[in-house]
Amino acid sequence: MKQPVNISTSEDIAYKLKVLAQEKENVRRKLVVTARQLAVTAREKESARRKLVITASKLKKLYETLEKKVFDRTKDLAQLRSRSEAILASVGDGLVVVNKEGRINYINKSFEEMLGWKAKEVLGKSMVQVVPREDIHGTKVSFKERILTQVLSGEKFVADLTNPFYYIRKDTSRFPTSSIVAPVTLDGKIVGAVEVFRDITKEKEIDKAKTEFVSLASHQLRTPLSTVNWYSEMLLSGDAGKVTSTQKKYLEEIYRGNQRMVELVNTLLDVSRIELGTLVVESKPTNIIKLIESVIDEQKPQILEKMIAFTSSFQKTIPLMKADQKLLRMVVQNILSNAIKYTPDKGKVNISLTLDETKTILLKISDSGYGIPKNQQHKIFTKLFRADNVIGKDTEGTGLGLYIAKSIVEQGGGKIWFTSDENKGSTFYVTLPLVKKKKDGYRRSFLAPLT
């Protein structure tokens, strides 16, 4: 189809104008819409700006509060810190805090005064190295055996109050110490430890004075005891004329009672000698089996009287050993006489002696006796302690025998322990090391191998 060329008529023009007007109207409308949109956006912007202003002021306020809080907290902490430091500084006991490697983080004033070290000299150094520890015999305690090392390796909290030891000062002098070590834990892990220690020179002096008093009193008691002994002995042998059978009986009671007192005094003297360290140790080549057999012979009357089924077994290969016979005898005698004393008539007692590969002699004495009540077993080696269940049955015990036995065995480097069931019996074990260790030769001098 062909377009008419000359169509430009007025109708056409009017039509075109109409179209144009329409387009113009459309553009205007769009402009109006856009303008409205812009107005909205502007409003939104304004509101956002206002919000920002508010937030900024809030932030400023928060910041100021925080600043104050931090300030207050720092003040609190500083106060707390100075208070803690004042407490630690005023504590009379020495105090040291170490990290998990055992290096010193903190020491208090008493530490400085007691050991002669200044904080700046020891911070960051190993506590175990800075402050060596010696036992009562002057033997250095090894790194592994230090309680601090043990606590840091998680081997439980240790209070070392029973075994006295010495701390060495910067000037190499020493003082007796008692210490408590506690681990510092964070989330269940050990991150360090705190040790508190005390100079126990005074306590030791008092203890020594007490022992010396017991020793002196015991010596003094012996003179009147001898008088009673000798005069009742003379009356009994008729030196002052014939005595009637009743008089004889009474005199024998006096004599026996006095003998018991003499024995008690002698035992007290032994205890004070052990405690004062004045016990003279004389080591001689000893056949321990023969020694035990002679102790058994001594106990024969009691064994027979109580009709006790007594058995013994000794390993034949036990060599001669260098030992103080009097002391060794006291150990065997105390345990064996207990076994017999605390076993009812017709009971069983066994003694055996073996030697193991580590050259340790094991002495075992078991009985079928009264046993030691469970709740009193921890006290059985305590001086003057006697278990409830035997106090009524036997009046002759002093409560000193096992204390003496333990002191002797431990001074000789051995160990003593027991197992016991009430009304079934007890078994006591004693180990006597034959191998003399170089490091603490002093302690084992009375139980040394015969070379």
Partner 1 sequence: MPLSKNKKTILVIEDERPLAHAIQTKLEQHDFIVITARTVNQGLDYLENVKVIDAIWLDHYLPGEKTGLDFVAELKSSGSKWKDLPIFIVSNTASSGNVKSYLRLGVSKYCVKAEHRLDQIVIDLQDFLNTTE
List contacts with partner 1 (CB under 8 A): 219, 222-223, 225-227, 229-231, 233-234, 237, 239, 262, 265-266, 278-280
CB 102 within 8 A of CB 128: yes
Query: Which residues on adjacent β-strands are paired with residue 355?
Result: 361
| Residue 269 Cβ vs partner 1, minimum distance, rounded to whole Å | 9
* Burial status of residue 55 (CB atoms within 10 A of its CB: 0-12, 13-18, 19 or more): exposed
| Residue 225 Cβ vs partner 1, minimum distance, rounded to whole Å | 5
Please identify, using beta-carbon distances, which residue of 178 and 215 lies nearer to partner 1: 215
Tokens (6 digits) for 400: 């000193």
Tokens (6 digits) for 270: 């032994």
| Residue 175 Cβ vs partner 1, minimum distance, rounded to whole Å | 28
| Residue 379 Cβ vs partner 1, minimum distance, rounded to whole Å | 31
Cα–Cα dist 393/396, whole Å: 9
Please identify, using beta-carbon distances, which residue of 181 and 404 lies nearer to partner 1: 404
Please identify, using beta-carbon distances, which residue of 52 and 234 lies nearer to partner 1: 234
- Beta strands at 309-314 and 348-355: parallel, antiparallel or unpaired: parallel
Cα–Cα dist 451/441, whole Å: 14
Please identify, using beta-carbon distances, which residue of 44 and 263 lies nearer to partner 1: 263
Please identify, using beta-carbon distances, which residue of 169 and 222 lies nearer to partner 1: 222
| Residue 212 Cβ vs partner 1, minimum distance, rounded to whole Å | 12
CB 385 within 8 A of CB 399: yes
| Residue 334 Cβ vs partner 1, minimum distance, rounded to whole Å | 18
Radius of gyration of the chain (CA): 46
Query: Does residue 268 come out as left (phi exceeding 0), alpha (psi in the -120 to 50 range) or beta?
Result: alpha
Please identify, using beta-carbon distances, which residue of 125 and 222 lies nearer to partner 1: 222
**DSSP 8-class letter at 367:** E
